[in-house]
Structures are given as C-alpha cells and as structure tokens.
Amino acid sequence: MWLASTVAYSVGGILASAFIGASIAGFGAVAMPSQFDETFFLPILLGVCAAVLLRELRLIDLPLLQWRRQTSGLWAKVLPAPVAAGLWGIDLGLVFTTWLTFAGPWLLAAIAFLSRDVPFAGTLFVTYWFGRVLTVWLAPLVIRSGGDLLLFMEVLSVRRPLFSRVHVSGAMWAAVVLLVMLAGGEPIDGRAR
C-alpha cells in the first residue's frame, strides 16, 4: 500500500509540476515579444534571485505571495489511499496552490516565464518536485516505527534553519549560474546566438 500510494503521489506531482512549468513558460511566450533582447532577462532574474536570497537570509522583510491553504486531509478518509495520495501529489505539484515554506519557487516561476521554453520550464518544475518527493521515498530508511515518524516530523520542524540554509544555497547557486550565463552570453531561452 505504501509503494502504490508513493508512486501515485510521485506521478501526480510530476504531471502537475510539468503542467505548471509549461503553462508559465507558455504564458511567457505569449506575453513577451519574441524579438525581445534576451540579455535584458538575465539581470531581471538576478534581481529576483537577490530578493529571494535577502529574504531567506532575513536581511529584508518581504512578504511571501502565496495561497494560504493546505491540501485536503478529507481525501484520505473518503478515497482509497493511492487515489488520495495521487490527488495530494497533483495538488502539491501545482506548487502555488498550497503553502510555500520559502520564496524560491517564485524564482523558478520567473525563470520559466522569461525562458518561454515549455520543455525546459516543465523540466525545471519536475526537478523541483523530484527534490520535494525524495523525502517521502527516503523516509523509510530512518522511520522504523510510529515513534520514529513522530520524531522524524519533530526533527524536520526543529531543523528548519538547516532547510533554510539548503534553500539559500540553491538561490546562491542560481546567482552563480545566471552570472556565468550573463558573462558567456548564453540566453535564458536556450537559443544559440
């Protein structure tokens, strides 16, 4: 039952994440003129990246734009476990329809929008989902009993600063990559110049 539910959860999230990434890029392709100078986009993304970094380092007080809702616990009570897990995957895979812990997904949305590259943006959000769902796949390595599960959740809560540092390292890495792209003249839409 655990395996079926975890697979359903993962697949639901992959589909939803691919959809949200591709949709944002598709919207960008419609909204942004194709002849727009790509070199203009990288400084914008560096600005968004800096805002995420400064926020997560608590150097600026920037409210997090988010939909303040949780996925429905009711599904587990009225639906078979794999179906409920699949629906949770879809709901959480949509990224912006539930609580965000940190601001990073908005940087991914900015990258997806300005890339206007549907396959790349879909891959970007699916990769985000892989990171998110990996915890569920790895949890059995440390959870051996009901008591371990409670302790696991407590450790995650107590260790929030550690997760914050991982998030900051992700944003710092994005800044490095964007600077390399800016220096090398590689456009965010992936087209050769």
Partner 1 sequence: MTNVERNVPAGVVAIAAAALVIAAIALPLQARAALLGTAFLFGWSQLPSL
> Measured from the CB of residue 78, what is the shortest distance to partner 1 in angstroms?
19
> Measured from the CB of residue 36, what is the shortest distance to partner 1 in angstroms?
17
State how far the Cα of 90 lies from the Cα of 87, in Å rounded to an integer: 5
Binding site for partner 1 (CB under 8 A): 70, 100-102, 104-105, 107-108, 111, 115, 120, 123-125, 127-136, 138-139, 141-143, 148-149, 151-153, 155-157, 159-160, 162-164, 166-167, 169-171, 173-174, 176-178, 180-181, 184, 186, 188, 190
The residue among 83 and 100 lying less far from partner 1, judged by its C-beta, is 100
> Measured from the CB of residue 61, what is the shortest distance to partner 1 in angstroms?
20
The residue among 118 and 133 lying less far from partner 1, judged by its C-beta, is 133
Cα 72–12–88 angle (5° rounding)? 10
Contact by Cβ (8 Å): 89, 9: yes
State how far the Cα of 31 lies from the Cα of 190, in Å rounded to an integer: 18
Q: What is the DSSP string of 100-127?
A: -SSSHHHHHHHHHHHH--HHHHHHHHHH
State how far the Cα of 51 lies from the Cα of 107, in Å rounded to an integer: 9
> Measured from the CB of residue 144, what is the shortest distance to partner 1 in angstroms?
8
The residue among 19 and 130 lying less far from partner 1, judged by its C-beta, is 130
